Amino acid sequence: MSQGMMSYAEPSVEPSYLDPQVDDDWLGRALREALAKSRQVSVEDFQKIFQSGVVQKLGKEREALAMEKYGYKTRRAMLKKMDTCSVSVVENQIEIQPTHQKSLDGWTVTTDEGPFPLYVPGTATDAELGAVLREGFKRCTSAIR
């Protein structure tokens, strides 16, 4: 994921699909690799990328691929079970922000109500990072389940 005005699927990076039973070490390693490939973009660059339609097209393609890989028959079935955390690095700390699913394809965070972010030092092991990400997923909430 890259960040501009919002997070979006980085067009130049292939997605990483993990086994649902992946261990913490592998999960942390995959997250660290994804963070290394992410970037921050200016508002102007974000507007160019977003208006080109590439992000929207990739989003649909990646949704279809995930549905096929994990055996979902409908987009609704997949999204209804989906937990989402945003991840960012600030001053050598990794922030994992669980989200609240307010609609089928809409997630939010209310800073005064939670779910609240988790922080991991950038020096954490892959297993520690994976364990905290897994905890972040457990803290996600939903209005539709």
45-92 pLDDT, tens digit each: 888 988 999 989 998 999 999 999 999 999 999 999 999 999 999 899
pLDDT of residue 62: 93
CATH code that applies to domain 2-142: 3.40.1590.10
Contact of 38 with 8, CB cutoff 8 Å = no
Contact of 116 with 133, CB cutoff 8 Å = no
Question: Cα angle vertex 127, ends 126, 129, to 5°?
Answer: 65
Q: What is the pTM of this model?
A: 0.88
